[in-house]
């Protein structure tokens, strides 16, 4: 039984491939290898698992290559995507071709298969738009919703969809296509609307993977640019907890197919940009240099996932807290760069 991971050379895909291969599963990593840093991930996976790590260079916009990679698949995880709002603003057509058309190509290939593999698709919290109607107030180093229910529980799946930015539109369209193919054609597929995921093998930048980006910048002595005021809040989820959720989703696909779930650290794992800078300062002994720029298009000032729907369906809950997870990633990033870090100091 083979698991195919599109975009599998990226941060999330390489961690999932490693877990499955470590358990003796057969894995095909399907990736166009265009994102910076993925070549290091592929080298590491091959060095760790040898020939058992099946690497296929290809693009979801190429139906023939996709069909070949899917041969014999029992499970599929669809991570291949254009991942940055800023890139989508610069080139909306490429953004749609990758996120929209690429996903539709995959769905059509899966629909033609017998038996049909399970599919988990990673969508985004950007499908809910700016959340401009969510009244916020500033408390200390962060924004918090004025509404007590939103503050306690986070943003639920019942919130109306409001695609914003070409990226939000393309991922939102893909999100809806996956759900419709599950309902209309009986495809065993579910959608994860993701908040901020972080962990080893992440090579973050200003546009995506901000937790890793902050830590990398600090380790390399580079200033960090914050767009906005730094009080914006996200719930962050450590990669191991996400992998647990993936495995639970596949095991319960007969019950959850056709459902979208908000997945993130939830209200107990939130951090503002300024708070993360303070954590890094405690780990490093000095706070990173920071410069501020104007707010960027489609930025949400507050987003925290209400994860109760998936918890009720699977029993899942995050186990790695913010401080522990950030310390783990800091340690990994330092070691991968040959930088000695005192273990005691690595705990924020």
Positions annotated as catalytic residues are: 167
Q: H/E/C letters for each residue in the chain?
A: CEEEEECCCCHHHHHHHHHHHHCCCEEEEEECCCCCCHHHHHHHHHHHHHHHEEEEECCCCCHHHHHHHHCCEEEEEECCCCCCHHHHHHCHHHHHHHHHHHHHHHHHHHHCCCCCCEEEEEEEHHHHCCCCCCCEEEECCEEEECCHHHHHHCECCCCCCCCCHHHHHHHHHHHHHHHHHHHHHCCCEEEEEECEEECCCCCCCCCCCHHHHHHHHHHCCCCEEEECCCCCEEEEEEHHHHHHHHHHHHHCHHHHCCCEEEECCCCCCEEEHHHHHHHHHHHHCCCCCEEEECCCCCCCCEECECCHHHHHHHCCCCCCCHHHHHHHHHHHHHHHCCCCCCCCCCCC
């Amino acid at each position: 039984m083979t698991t195919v991971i599109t975009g599998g050379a990226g941060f999330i895909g390489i961690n999932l491939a490693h877990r499955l291969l470590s358990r003796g599963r057969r894995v095909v990593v399907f990736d166009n290898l265009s994102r910076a840093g993925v070549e290091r991930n592929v080298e590491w996976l091959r060095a760790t698992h040898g020939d058992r790590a099946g690497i296929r260079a290809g693009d979801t916009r190429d139906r023939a290559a996709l069909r070949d990679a899917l041969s014999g698949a029992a499970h599929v995880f669809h991570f291949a995507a254009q991942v940055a709002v800023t890139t989508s603003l610069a080139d909306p057509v490429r953004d749609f071709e990758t996120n929209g058309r690429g996903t539709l190509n995959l769905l059509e290939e899966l629909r033609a298969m017998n038996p049909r593999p399970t599919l988990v698709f990673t969508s985004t919290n950007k499908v809910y738009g700016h959340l401009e109607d969510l009244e916020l107030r500033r408390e200390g180093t962060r924004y918090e919703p004025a509404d007590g229910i939103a503050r306690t529980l986070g943003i639920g799946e019942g919130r109306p969809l409001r695609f914003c930015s070409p990226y939000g539109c393309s991922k939102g369209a893909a999100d809806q296509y996956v759900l419709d193919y599950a309902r209309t054609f009986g495809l065993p597929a579910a959608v994860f609307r993701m908040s901020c995921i972080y962990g080893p093998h992440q090579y973050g930048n200003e546009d995506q993977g901000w937790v890793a980006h902050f830590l990398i910048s600090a380790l390399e002595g580079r200033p960090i640019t914050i767009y906005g005021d730094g009080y914006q809040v996200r719930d962050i989820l450590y990669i191991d907890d996400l992998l647990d959720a993936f495995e639970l989703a596949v095991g319960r696909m007969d019950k959850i197919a056709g459902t979208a779930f908000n997945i993130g650290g939830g209200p107990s794992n939130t951090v503002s940009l300024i708070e993360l800078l303070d954590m890094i300062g405690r780990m490093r002994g000095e706070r990173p240099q920071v410069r501020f720029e104007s707010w960027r298009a489609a930025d949400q000032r507050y987003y925290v996932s209400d994860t109760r729907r998936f918890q009720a369906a699977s029993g899942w809950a995050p186990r790695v807290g913010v401080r522990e997870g950030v310390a783990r990633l800091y340690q990994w990033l330092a070691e991968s760069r040959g930088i000695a870090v005192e273990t005691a100091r690595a705990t924020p």
